[in-house]
Structure 1
Amino acid sequence: MKARYKYRFYPTDQQKQDLAKLFGCVRVVWNDALAICKGSQKVPKSGDLQKLVITQAKKTEERRWLSEVSVVPLQQSVADLGVAFKNFFDSCNGKRKGRKVNSPRFKKRTNRQSARLTRRGFSIQGDGVYLAKIGVVKPIWSRELPSNPSSVTIIKDCANNYFLSFVVDIEPVRVRADNQSIGIDLGIKTFAVMSDGTQAKSPDYSKLDRKLRKVQRKLAKQPKGSNRKEQTRVKIAKLNNKIANKRKDFLHKLSTKIVSENQVIVLEDLNVSGMVKNRKLARAISQQGWAEFRTLCEAKSNKYGRNFQVINRWEPTSQICSDCGFKWGKLDLSVRSILCVNCGIEQDRDENAARNIEMVGMGHRHDLKRTGRVGKTTSVAQPDELSRITGASAGVSMSK
């Protein structure tokens, strides 16, 4: 199976100039090819596009500087454009699963820059990596590469940090699981509540978020194209990187712990795009990284040989007692604890939902004869119904 290993490196001043030239050429080739595709009725083949925007363009006065960089990343840029159009068309035709993919867009100088090299464009030489027409760069080897990489992507993010991202082949790791299965209920204040009763608190992003808002307000008042505006843009990018790194560290540690200890991991499919329409919770939901956590759990499950499952988002996981199967109906988000009128057991909302997620994922649904309602229950429980609700707090869970 394929995996990416990412390392940071610090280029010299001359290498920064050469990399800036490389990123500019890759960006121009992409934009030229995209302009041709948008101006034609049918998307040309990748080989025909390479002849137009690389081979023939080098012979013109306007684009002759394309020959100053390696041709490998230019060819890969055109190939990536073809893949982007294929994904867009497959998404429109329903052949591609997941959310709809937008059509390719033109690249900007201020956005994240990247250039991909295949094996004929780079080589590993001791502690350094030779890049064609760039020279030898020395990344910080935080871990060893498990095998020889098939390609490397040179990345410059919005905060002017440089990275090398290698694509390598890895072997699956067989580790014995301590538990058979686990269900996970995702939320905001408490990021994850597991069916075994354990909880994982979300990192506190409030301090960084306040700084970010302050700098964003400053950016909006500065004149366009000024040097101060560019400096402020870099500050915003660095703050966003700090938040992203803090979130990524938390998600990697949590997903590794869950996947290594459990054989079956069950999550609930969440309609995040619909949830962020709530303007009061949109910023908090966007900072959690639920989609990234799901991707990490799925990838690490494949690596460790685990069974990863996602249940339907319409399963009433918060409306059913996990002990007796009695359905008490839809609950208000402020309701955090419920006293089941059928079995008399007090249920924590999030733990109850996590246990139901695990049971649905494992195929252990409650017996329908036991899930019938003994008494009449309102559709939405209110905080003053003491016979059903034993506690309320300001916490929020995204389970239904």
Structure 2
Amino acid sequence: MGETEVKRAFKYRFYPTEAQKKELLRTFGCVRKVYNLALDARTRAWAQEQRRVTYNETSTLLTAWKKSEELAFLAQVSSVPLQQALRHLQCAFTAFFNKRAKYPRFKSRKRSRGSAEYTKSAFKYRDGQLTLAKVPEPLNIVWSRSLPKCAEPSTVTVTRDSADRWFVSIQVETLVGSHEPTTGVVGMDAGISSLLTLSTGEKISNPKHSVRESKRLEKAQRELARKVKGSNNRDKARLKVARIHARISDRRRDNLHKVTTRLVRDNQTVVIEDLSVCNMMKNRRLSRVIGDASWAELRSMLEYKCAWYGRELIVINRWFPSSKTCSNCGALTDSLPLRVREWSCGVCEVRHDRDINAARNILAAGLAVSACGAGVRPQRETSRMGRPAVNQELPGASQEDSRPLGRGVVKGAFAPPPTGPRAGC
């Protein structure tokens, strides 16, 4: 087995003292202020002079802001998180110019998550204790798991979520060993009633964590609505709602980690479908259950785990009619409404479970792409052909998911985009 050097982040919860909390909150505010000032400067320069402002220019502006009377408070916190904020803004503009993201938005004090990133020059890690620049005393971190041996932290990111929980994310460069080779291959069809349906016939149930917490959440939201705005009781009620949402998110992420780890460990090749989750979320009837399934996070986990552990991930084109194609004889049925969960092929008369049949077809399509090596990257022009890129299961998808792929990921265009009445397969 080989080893791959990867950048890996370890996230821990910590409990700051009042002095640490005050300093970190001040740093969060300064980071947000610098980001918004730099964004405003770059926007004005383009609107008035048609000129692009570089990172070096914003860094010079930061020095001038610190020396001004109005923004002198920026010099009271560590300069490293402020410089990192400018680098993050530069990355946001780079993604925008490369058409991978929308135009950067201003950070809000209420809606944005408070965070600050420290590089090596702004923290000290020694004997299991982490001390940040200008933050008194080491952080009281709950070391739920140890860092890899001989791994030196490169960056440290401190965050505070809406539920008033504090976390520190420590990034290190470490070696990850590949799994033992296996002959297992699996195709997966994402769904709602079942989170995943495998080509082996197994159906992985969807825990539906938000549904299980719906009554408690509704009660907390009603209590929040009754509180007077700006009062301490409203802050307490808002915190209660946020903690319920955090519990739902934590449980969902934990389940996804367990599912993806098992799939990557047991199979050498994993085949999934290229779903445009962002556009599917526009369907008002299904947006809540789609968000609860968290297909985008599921795919992201599969991508980096396959890259780490020496597995192959194949992503087939969303236009491939996996549900309407008979996995036994290959015949294509004319119409298959979403409410139909079982159907019989009109040619070979084999009866299919809709999801299992789709998973088997996805596996066959992925293996065909991997074997021939042709057309392994889907054509992005399909999203610009004047018709919505509708997925076979959930209508309303129009653009391809543009998230970057990790190593070991193959994107496959098994079938050309359909035309005519079958475009909604």
Does the alignment reach a TM-score above 0.5?
yes
User: Counterpart of 1:137?
Assistant: 139
- 1:349-388 aligned at under 5 Å gives the runs 349-363=354-368
How far 1:280 moved relative to its partner? 1.9
Aligned residue type for 1:235 = K
Match of 1:185 among 183, 189, 210: 189
Aligned residue type for 2:139 = V
Match of 1:278 among 283, 306, 309: 283
- 1:77-226 aligned at under 5 Å gives the runs 77-91=85-99, 96=100, 100-134=101-135, 135-146=137-148, 147-205=151-209, 206-220=211-225, 222-226=227-231
Aligned residue type for 2:138 = V
How far 1:259 moved relative to its partner? 0.7
Q: Which moved more, 1:296-305 or 1:9-18?
A: 9-18
- Structure index of larger Rg: 1
SS where residue 295 of structure 1 aligns? helix
**Ranges in structure 1 where 5+ consecutive residues have no aligned partner:** 366-395
How far 1:287 moved relative to its partner? 1.0
How far 1:356 moved relative to its partner? 0.2
User: Counterpart of 2:58?
Assistant: 49
User: Counterpart of 1:329?
Assistant: 334
- The superposition leaves residues 330-372 of structure 1 with CA deviations (integer Å, 9 ceiling, x where unpaired) of 311221122223223221111110000000001079xxxxxxx
- The superposition leaves residues 124-178 of structure 1 with CA deviations (integer Å, 9 ceiling, x where unpaired) of 1212101111131131222222221211111111111111112222324221244
Q: Which moved more, 1:64-73 or 1:194-203?
A: 64-73
SS where residue 268 of structure 2 aligns? strand
Match of 1:6 among 8, 11, 14: 11
The CA distance in 2 between the partners of 1:32 and 1:339, in whole Å, is 62
Structure 2 CA distance for partners of 1:276 and 1:120, relative to 1, 3 Å: same
Contact 2:208 / 2:292 at 8 angstroms: preserved in 1? Answer: no
How far 1:5 moved relative to its partner? 1.2
The CA distance in 2 between the partners of 1:298 and 1:39, in whole Å, is 39
SS where residue 98 of structure 2 aligns? helix
Question: 2:296 matched to 1:291?
Answer: yes
How far 1:105 moved relative to its partner? 2.0
How far 1:181 moved relative to its partner? 1.4
User: Counterpart of 2:386?
Assistant: none
The CA distance in 2 between the partners of 1:247 and 1:207, in whole Å, is 12
The CA distance in 2 between the partners of 1:398 and 1:197, in whole Å, is 22
How far 1:290 moved relative to its partner? 0.2
User: Counterpart of 2:374?
Assistant: none
Aligned residue type for 1:85 = F
Q: Identity of aligned pairs, percent? A: 39
SS where residue 40 of structure 1 aligns? helix
SS where residue 283 of structure 1 aligns? helix
The CA distance in 1 between the partners of 2:348 and 2:369, in whole Å, is 19
Aligned residues: 362
Q: Which moved more, 1:178-187 or 1:313-322?
A: 178-187
The CA distance in 1 between the partners of 2:251 and 2:18, in whole Å, is 30
How far 1:56 moved relative to its partner? 1.9
Structure 2 CA distance for partners of 1:60 and 1:9, relative to 1, 3 Å: same
User: Counterpart of 1:62?
Assistant: 70
The CA distance in 2 between the partners of 1:14 and 1:310, in whole Å, is 49
The CA distance in 1 between the partners of 2:13 and 2:369, in whole Å, is 47
How far 1:109 moved relative to its partner? 4.3
Match of 1:232 among 226, 230, 237: 237
